[in-house]
């Protein structure tokens, strides 16, 4: 029996999904797999687990598992459901490094990656009576794989007399990839459509589309209340928040009634008095178009990737007086993005302080994963930050691109949850017309060697035959298989025999014992290989530290962004000098120098741990505190994983790790080359430089164009003839990251 508070009970009754409780429960009873579609905010994530709990699905041995593509959602939804049910010990979450699961847990929220790891330990997922795959429309790689695996696990469980249910939940009605895919479900699962109960949203297009400073454009509708702004990444979110706080300062005790028309009048007056120096935007530039009310074809984009790239926390700068508006219009400005601390995230669900107007500035986490109450105005920049990979070379870059039409409509829909709303698109309708209709499934856009290794470890040898909702390209599968063979994770395919058979064999190589060990490490195969080799010469603690550092993005603060004021830029110059000095120190001497950037990482991790991994140490030495904390957690996790594979080494994380000896450095370099062997580059010899673009360039086997060593690299001056690199990122040039020297034989 669940005892809910009257307020919770009342709020629940307003959710469209409540009307469908019987339908949902009956469909689940009658079918092994059920699909539920319902507009964001209709109550799927918070209510369906409760229906199942009350329906007795967690009363036996099995529990209810729910997967989310994002950590934010897993954590905040578990808290919300625990609160709604007033049963805090029954509802838990598990994300990569942390969780609060106990023996009492009956409803478990987790990231999709966590469940995939559990399948490796127990293919039948015997602890669960139900699995709910949430946010399936996001088409994250792990979600897709999980649906494929569960389409096999569910019938197996039923056959073994341990029945299990699968629910797939989506915020869009476009679910054919799951339901119409014969390879996936031979009998199409029933689809329950939850009435959207969406209010109309009027769309206002910009007449022209700003190419730069679109965050500036998003400042103008700020005299409204209940605003949600979609930007592309953390840096942008923080910078707009700062501008808004300056333009509309909010101080305690300085609040007026949040009357929009009054606020607007004051805003206009303030503007005339020139106290506001916001970008001047003519309201007449916006045309109003009613959005199709019957627009059912909505879909969100794939998982946002705003976690990538640098995520500087930009503090307020009191010296900046660039924007000032009438201070009597208090705006309560809140940032929102995946990596934001949970306490900060939780703020968006609480009502703003009385007499203030809520304005949330978000990346696309607010597109479908989280429903923010009280939003009436949406400002959409129309863009999204994504990581792009080159199919052949694996070169990746973060790019901000236009989002899809489906995604833009999903964003607009956020304005119509509680009453009719407005969406201001900072781009023209013509530009919108050129957007792709839907975003692509993530699996078709990135290398898949990690997935292939995981599948082989599950004894799925013929990965091509796996029931992917959308299969990755054949090229990507072949490339993955080749890499894994070269790393020794898969058996070599036969070289003789009939052409067709060889081809077939090349795509179905079974896993080797080394491959199994690698699969048990929660890092990409190249790094897993290094861990598997690390036992020599007591190198493991170093390998673990280096691998952890390579896996976490952006150890060092990005000090190259332009200074905002004279003052700040002189401070920046100082900090840059300090970081350069530290890098030189961490790079070591003699033999260590050859390990290059990896030695710098190792030195940074060692020094930071030695100092107790404090924000102060990081700040003083140009390290990103968040990254260092993540590395610390990952070191712990990798140490446990290695101990599980070879308990005899009895590893532990030593905060006072001494620098490696010369012998160990030699050994580390061999290990690094073994892992990154296919990422080899050779310096172009002076006599070969015919084209000036090749000056100081390196040649890689797969690319026609040169790649370079970044000026901040430890090997920038040395320029060894042969190097291996961690990855190539395209920014202003093609730069190798994580460079280490290889001695020519």
Give contact residues for ligand ADP (rule: CB under 6 A).
Answer: 15, 38, 40-47, 76, 80, 349, 371, 373
CB of 375 to ligand ADP, least distance (A): 9
Q: Which does 716 bind (CB under 5 to 8 A by kind): ligand ADP, Mg ion, none?
A: none
| 51 versus 220: smaller Cβ distance to ligand ADP | 51
| 17 versus 361: smaller Cβ distance to Mg ion | 17
CB of 429 to ligand ADP, least distance (A): 28
| 45 versus 363: smaller Cβ distance to Mg ion | 45
Interface positions, 45-64, toward Mg ion (CB under 5 A): 45
Closest CA to 288 of 414, 437, 423: 423
Q: Which does 403 bind (CB under 5 to 8 A by kind): ligand ADP, Mg ion, none?
A: none
As a whole number of angstroms, the distance between CA 110 and CA 66 comes to 6
As a whole number of angstroms, the distance between CA 448 and CA 45 comes to 29
As a whole number of angstroms, the distance between CA 224 and CA 262 comes to 10
Count of residues touching Mg ion (by CB under 5 A): 2
Q: Give the 3-state secondary structure of 726-745.
A: CEEEECCCEEEECCEEECCC
Residue 429 DSSP SS3: helix
Cα angle for residues 701, 704, 705 (degrees, 5° grid):
110
In terms of DSSP H, where are the helices of 248-340? 260-272
CB of 630 to ligand ADP, least distance (A): 25
Q: Which does 15 bind (CB under 5 to 8 A by kind): Mg ion, ligand ADP, none?
A: ligand ADP
| 40 versus 234: smaller Cβ distance to ligand ADP | 40
Contact call for residues 383 and 400 (beta carbons, < 8 A): yes
| 40 versus 639: smaller Cβ distance to ligand ADP | 40
| 197 versus 578: smaller Cβ distance to ligand ADP | 197
Asked if 170 interacts with Mg ion (CB under 5 A), we say no
Token pair, residue 274, equals: 């020139």
CB of 38 to ligand ADP, least distance (A): 5
Contact call for residues 254 and 330 (beta carbons, < 8 A): yes
Q: Which does 148 bind (CB under 5 to 8 A by kind): Mg ion, ligand ADP, none?
A: none
Interface positions, 26-45, toward Mg ion (CB under 5 A): 44-45
Q: Which does 373 bind (CB under 5 to 8 A by kind): ligand ADP, Mg ion, none?
A: ligand ADP
Closest CA to 557 of 317, 304, 235: 235
Residue nearest to Mg ion (CB): 45
Q: Which does 349 bind (CB under 5 to 8 A by kind): ligand ADP, Mg ion, none?
A: ligand ADP
| 45 versus 664: smaller Cβ distance to Mg ion | 45
Q: CA-CA distances (angstroms) from residue 555 to 454, 543, 558, 597, 676?
A: 27, 17, 9, 11, 20
Asked if 234 interacts with Mg ion (CB under 5 A), we say no
As a whole number of angstroms, the distance between CA 476 and CA 455 comes to 15
CB of 36 to ligand ADP, least distance (A): 9
CB of 703 to ligand ADP, least distance (A): 43
As a whole number of angstroms, the distance between CA 512 and CA 357 comes to 60
Closest CA to 32 of 116, 150, 119: 150
CB of 381 to Mg ion, least distance (A): 23
Q: Which does 80 bind (CB under 5 to 8 A by kind): Mg ion, ligand ADP, none?
A: ligand ADP
CB of 41 to Mg ion, least distance (A): 8
CB of 193 to Mg ion, least distance (A): 15
Q: Indicate the helix (H) or strand (E) that contains 333.
A: strand 331-336
Q: Which does 639 bind (CB under 5 to 8 A by kind): ligand ADP, Mg ion, none?
A: none
Q: CA-CA distances (angstroms) from residue 297 to 38, 115, 143, 172, 438?
A: 12, 30, 21, 7, 10
| 43 versus 226: smaller Cβ distance to ligand ADP | 43
| 138 versus 630: smaller Cβ distance to ligand ADP | 138
Contact call for residues 653 and 633 (beta carbons, < 8 A): no
As a whole number of angstroms, the distance between CA 12 and CA 86 comes to 14
Contact call for residues 360 and 366 (beta carbons, < 8 A): yes
Asked if 67 interacts with Mg ion (CB under 5 A), we say no
Q: Which does 41 bind (CB under 5 to 8 A by kind): ligand ADP, Mg ion, none?
A: ligand ADP
Burial class of residue 177 in the structure, from the number of CB atoms within 10 Å of its CB (0-12 exposed, 13-18 middle, 19+ buried): middle
| 13 versus 283: smaller Cβ distance to ligand ADP | 13
- Whose tokens are 């956020």? That residue is 414
Q: Which does 94 bind (CB under 5 to 8 A by kind): Mg ion, ligand ADP, none?
A: none
CB of 523 to ligand ADP, least distance (A): 31
Q: CA-CA distances (angstroms) from residue 155 to 126, 147, 189?
A: 13, 13, 13
Contact call for residues 363 and 233 (beta carbons, < 8 A): yes
Q: Which does 206 bind (CB under 5 to 8 A by kind): ligand ADP, Mg ion, none?
A: none
CB of 252 to ligand ADP, least distance (A): 23
| 46 versus 232: smaller Cβ distance to ligand ADP | 46
| 44 versus 106: smaller Cβ distance to Mg ion | 44
CB of 12 to ligand ADP, least distance (A): 8
Residue 275 DSSP SS3: coil
Beta strands (DSSP E) in 162-238 are: 165-170, 191-194, 201-205, 227-230
Chain residues binding Mg ion by CB under 5 A are 44-45
């Amino acid at each position: 029996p669940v005892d809910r508070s009257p307020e919770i009970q009342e709020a629940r009754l307003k959710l469209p999904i409540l009307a469908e409780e019987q339908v949902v429960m009956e469909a689940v009873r009658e079918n092994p797999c059920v699909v539920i579609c319902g507009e964001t905010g209709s109550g799927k994530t918070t209510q369906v687990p409760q229906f199942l709990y009350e329906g007795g699905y967690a009363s036996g041995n099995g529990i209810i598992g729910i997967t989310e593509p994002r950590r934010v959602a897993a954590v905040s939804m578990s808290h919300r459901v625990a609160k709604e049910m007033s049963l805090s010990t029954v509802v838990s979450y598990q994300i990569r490094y942390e969780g609060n699961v106990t023996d009492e847990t009956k409803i478990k929220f987790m990231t999709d990656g966590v469940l995939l790891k559990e399948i490796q330990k127990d293919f039948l997922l015997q602890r669960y009576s139900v699995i709910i795959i949430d946010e399936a429309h996001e088409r994250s790689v792990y979600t897709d794989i999980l649906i494929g695996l569960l389409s096999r696990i569910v019938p197996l469980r039923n056959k073994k007399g341990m029945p299990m249910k699968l629910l797939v939940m989506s915020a869009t009605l476009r679910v054919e990839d799951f339901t119409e895919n014969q390879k996936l479900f031979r009998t199409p699962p029933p689809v329950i459509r939850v009435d959207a109960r969406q209010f109309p949203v009027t769309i206002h297009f910009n007449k022209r589309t700003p190419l730069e400073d679109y965050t500036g454009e998003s400042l103008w509708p700020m005299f409204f209340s209940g605003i949600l702004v979609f930007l592309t990444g953390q840096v942008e979110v923080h910078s707009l928040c700062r501008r808004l706080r300056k333009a509309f300062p909010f101080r305690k005790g300085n609040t007026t009634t949040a009357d929009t028309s009054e606020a607007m009048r004051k805003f206009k007056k303030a503007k005339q008095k020139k106290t506001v120096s916001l970008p001047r935007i003519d309201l007449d530039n916006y045309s109003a178009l009613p959005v199709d009310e019957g627009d059912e074809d909505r879909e969100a984009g794939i998982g946002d990737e705003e976690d990538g790239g640098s995520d500087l926390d930009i503090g307020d700068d009191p010296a900046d007086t660039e924007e000032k508006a009438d201070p009597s219009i208090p705006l309560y400005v809140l940032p929102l993005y995946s990596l934001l601390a949970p306490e900060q995230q939780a703020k968006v669900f609480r009502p703003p302080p009385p007499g203030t107007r809520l304005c949330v500035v978000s990346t696309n986490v607010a597109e479908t994963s989280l429903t923010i109450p009280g939003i009436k105005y949406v400002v959409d920049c129309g863009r999204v930050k994504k990581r792009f990979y080159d199919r052949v070379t694996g070169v990746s870059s973060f790019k901000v691109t236009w989002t899809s039409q489906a995604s833009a409509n999903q964003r607009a829909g956020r304005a119509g949850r509680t009453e009719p709303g407005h969406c201001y698109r900072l781009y023209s309708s013509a530009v919108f017309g050129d957007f792709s209709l839907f975003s692509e499934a993530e699996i078709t856009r990135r290398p898949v060697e990690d997935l292939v290794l995981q599948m082989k470890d599950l004894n799925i040898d013929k990965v091509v035959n796996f029931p992917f909702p959308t299969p990755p390209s054949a090229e990507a599968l072949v490339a993955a298989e080749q890499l894994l063979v070269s790393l020794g994770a898969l058996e070599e395919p036969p070289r003789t025999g009939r052409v067709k058979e060889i081809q077939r064999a090349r795509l179905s190589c079974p896993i080797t014992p080394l491959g199994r060990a690698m699969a048990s490490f929660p890092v990409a195969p190249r790094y897993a290989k290094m861990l598997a080799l690390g036992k020599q010469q007591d190198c493991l603690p170093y390998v673990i530290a280096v691998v952890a550092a390579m896996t976490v993005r952006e150890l060092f603060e990005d000090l190259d962004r332009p200074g905002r004021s004279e003052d700040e830029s002189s401070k920046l110059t100082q900090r840059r000098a300090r970081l350069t000095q530290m890098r030189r120190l961490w790079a070591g001497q003699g033999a260590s120098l050859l390990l290059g950037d990896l030695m710098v990482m190792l030195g940074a991790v060692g020094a930071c741990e030695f100092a107790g991994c404090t924000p102060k140490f990081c700040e003083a030495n140009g390290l990103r505190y968040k990254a260092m904390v993540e590395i610390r957690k990952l070191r712990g996790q990798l140490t446990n994983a290695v101990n599980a594979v070879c308990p005899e080494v009895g590893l532990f994380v030593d905060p006072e790790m001494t620098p490696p000896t010369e012998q160990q450095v030699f050994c580390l370099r061999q290990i690094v080359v073994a892992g990154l062997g296919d990422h080899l580059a050779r310096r172009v010899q002076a006599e070969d430089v015919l084209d000036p673009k090749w000056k100081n360039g390196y040649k890689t086997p797969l690319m026609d164009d040169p790649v370079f060593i970044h000026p901040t690299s430890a090997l920038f001056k040395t320029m060894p003839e042969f190097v291996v690199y961690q990855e190539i990122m395209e920014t202003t040039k093609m730069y190798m990251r994580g460079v280490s020297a290889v001695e020519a034989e």
